[in-house]
Structure 1
Amino acid sequence: MPRIIRYTFIVLMCLFCLKNSAQATSFTKDSVSYYLKESKKHTYTDFNKAKFYLVKADKIARQLNDQNAIADVIFQFAANYYIVGSYDIALKNYIKASEIYDAQNNKLGVAKCLMGQGLIQQVFGRDQEALKNFKKSIAICRTLNNNPFTVKNLLNIGVSEANLNQYEEAYHHFSESLKLSRKFKLADDSQMAMNKLGYIHFAQNNLDSSVYYYQKVLNNNVKPNLWEEAYALSGLSEVYLKKEDYATAESYGLKGFTTAKIVGAKWDIARSSEILTQIYEKKNDFKSAYHYLVITKAYNDSLYAESKIKEVNILQLKAKEAENDELMAKAETAQQKLYYTRIFVGFIIILLLSLSVFTYQYHKYTKQKGTFFREIEIKNQEIQNQQSMILSQNLVLEELNQTKNKIFSILSHDLKTPINSLIQVIELNKQHDLTKEEQAFVFEQLQKQVEGTSLILNHLLKWANSQIDGTNVHFEKIALNQIVEESVNSFHAEVTKKKVTFNHHNTESIFIKADIGQVRIIVQNIIANAVKFAPLHSRIDIFYSSDEKYQKIHIKDYGNGLNQNKIEEIMSFNKRLPSEKGTSMEEGTGLGLLLVKQFLINNQGQLEIRSEEEKMTEFIISFLKY
């Protein structure tokens, strides 16, 4: 008998103690609800007394002709017969209750009966058939958002899969049941799931994980029932036996055996005594080993006798399943005959109706047909909407990949120039080409360069982190002149080298509405362009203007300028342009202006270029006013 099959009994104990949704909330004496409650009190202690109350409940339910109440009583009869081992009678009642629930459209009742049938099949080792019923039951429970029954079905499914040695599938369902039982505070189900996970890990030789789950049961905030405690203790004994830690194995084994004796569960007693036999044999304590071997044999003989009875019950179960299949086939045949009979009768009636009745029926048919076609159109529209949604999701994924590529390109592009400057200064110092006065001056400049580069890096990383899940534009109030000042400071080394000065007209705070990370990249790239193409001993002018909608920043250098064809090429590009060397032979990636154009579109901004060949180039960037 598989070691976790016994858990199906505990599942059923929890199952039958729940209130059925169709059951009346009142427990007035001499009501169906009252007698069902009284019956459940004696379900596990006194079968005859439980049956006595069910007979009373059945009588009242039939007097009221309450079909759901009648089905509730039949269902409880099935549960009681299941517990005492009369599986053929239990199966018959589960099927009968299911038919009534189905006729009353009581989905939860149908789900419970499917679970009951699966439990019977599970007891007889018919786990493949049991899985079919459990999966039908859990599908209904999930549709109804019934969390307790969903958890129980997950446990039942895991038990059958473990019995079939499908350990990975069983582990998945036990883990899911543990997660849900914790979420909805179902303590018994949670402990049961942890015990089962402990067994799965032991079966796969993951001994430390097995110990972890068994200990979680024993040290749980809610004290486990004796059955779960006995199983966990014997499980730990079995694990430490395999670890060859015989002292610990003996301690847990004796506790498990004592607890199992209190519960009176034959299978658990046989299991714990068998483990103790192996432990004492390993310890060469043959007297104790023989003692527990005798106990093991006695309980195994008892279980063997029960298994012989079980074989007879299996035959009855198979016969009952075949009988049910035959009844279902007959019912379908009868339903088919009834269907054709109704068609024939309807046809005769139509022939006997007057022309006016025929016209009315024809009009009704036409209306129904129109409704049908409208429903088809709605379904088609839903399908189209789903296809559009899938296409949209694919576009979002593609955009995500492009954004991540841009992040890497931006980081390399904006850090290339300042890092090259740092390398040059370090190389000069290594070659001892600098006097002490020059070193003091250079290192002062180097400090400013490092501070500017660090500031740029922090801004870029912060922006990249905000963009990692896709190109997101976060509009906020930004002090544009402050961002410009930070960017200007970051080019300290380059402009010092080229003897270029910045003329930044920064008189008062100028606010815009845009994404601060993308604004920094836009300003950084345009100023970098100006520095790159500015002649030696020249200046770069930065000033501001505005109109009704936009706040504008002008960045102007006095280099060779651009011809009209080049300006049109920049304004209309949608791919990276070939990089041109600067006035001091600086090299670029060709990515800067591509990013500027893209990010201006993202921020609803504009770009304008004014240039006079051999005189100047002026970039005008427009942002939304705050």
Structure 2
Amino acid sequence: MNKVILILLLSLFFKPSIIVSQEKKTEEFELLKNELLNISDNLDNGTFIKKAITFFSKREWDSTLIYAQKQITMQKSERLNNLSHFIRGYSFDQKKILKEAEIEYTLISEDFYFHNLTNVLLGVLILEQGKYSKAVEYFERVIELPNSEFKFIEKNTIKHNLGLCYLHLKKFDKAENFLIASTKFFEEQKDTIELVGNYGDLATLYYEQYKDDLAIPYFKKAYNLAKTTNDFYSRFVTTKNMAVVEENRKDYQKALNFKKEAAQWKDSLNNQNRIYEVAKKEKEFAVAAKQKEVDLLQVENKLKETERKIFLYSAIGLLLFLGIGAYFFREKVKTNKIIAAQKETLDELNTTKDKLFSIVSHDLRSSVNALKSSNKILLDNLASKNLEALENLLHKNSTIVNGAYGLLDNLLNWALMQTEQQYFSIEKQRLFIITEHVAYNYKPLLLEKELNFENTVSKKEFVQADQESLKIVLRNLIDNAIKFSQPNGFIKIYSSNTIEGFTNLIVEDSGLGMSDATRLKLLDDSVLLNKKEHEDIIGTGLGIQLVKSMIKKNNGKFDIESELGKGTKMIVSLPKTVLDG
């Protein structure tokens, strides 16, 4: 009966593990960590698995599990999924959630880089659950591999674990071979902790076969060696086993002394376990506090995102002004983290947006006020039936409305471009037909201002462009030419070929012209004019910015030639094409 008690004690106290000594455990984890970090260096920034590996290297198992699961949910590639399952299995193993660890490991495919290591880890998990035959299957898959394959695991530790499996399966010959082989290795390495376990396992092997003369020396070796360590668990187990051995040998005094000593080590072990438990609770509390902080930040981010959306939808109702605002703030809405470079870009966009809002709002207000005043005068003249004055006022009102409409039309097209909602199709276009069609709509304004108009664009010129956006470009250029021309002046539209592969479409007027400083500002992609060179003419620069954007989208070029008081040439260069046949 006593011998049975001893064997049960040994089965209870000596548990298999891959790495027993803390130094070896730390060393082999560092090897695995560095290998994973090397893999991470070749992964894209911002991926969940890259974050998971970062937390893995810090032994933050809960965060590792969360981000590895996010990577699996994405189902990006089998390689990344294998890597995610591996570090999740390892993390569950460290948290002693063995069933979940086993599930994760079994989901890894055979071509995975760490597949051999996975078999070893699975074998240990199965062994710890008492499934010895199944554990042998996993260990046997790797035991014959060359030593070069054992980068993260000591091969002799696997031999030790196989010995334990065969010991539990009562296959004593196989158990003895593996246990003796691993014991010799650890004796050469002078690995004290491993030797305590190996000596105890060999003692159990012989004692179970009633070979007391072989078993007892190993019990003593395990006991004496354990006394040289600071491992309370090893001291308690070896001392308890010696008490049982001496009791079986009828030396009750020695058995009593060993029991007292074992009780002391058990108390020390319990104290140590309590310390570990307190440390574990403190860590869990810290993790919970960190998670609470993360949750709070997520709530704050969601509130900020909601506020931005409310601002966006409110502004859309104000004459589509937030068509522009949506463009400038789009990147801000998409991300919760604003780095310094993004903030600088956003500030610049906000400045341009505010300037545009200010200018457009001022010009619209001026137009509305002018229309309001004109209508009041119109009503007074209507009462007096002054038909000549009525006609002049109606022409004036028409001009004001046309200007305001043009401004809003440009604003709408600008907003559609910035939000990428505008349909765009580049095809072969006959340049003369498009210019003639657009110019036809301006004949009443040309007659009203007594301007001579001439369209000499070559009828053989074909360009690659989107028809609707090209019409918008022409409307803005002709509208500006009329706006800045004096009565009895001229406007010409013609084509030339001065750049290889491009056709130049030129809108020339004999109007007020502009200074070189103004010309350069108009060519600047980010500038909106806030100071008018001609105070009696409404101009925001939005039309020219729209023209430049649409020309660029048509793969074209834009230039201006002008001199103050001597007219202006607006030059649009578009990719040319040759008519088939």
TM-score, length-normalised on structure 2? 0.33
Structure whose alpha-carbon radius of gyration is higher: 2
TM-score, length-normalised on structure 1? 0.31
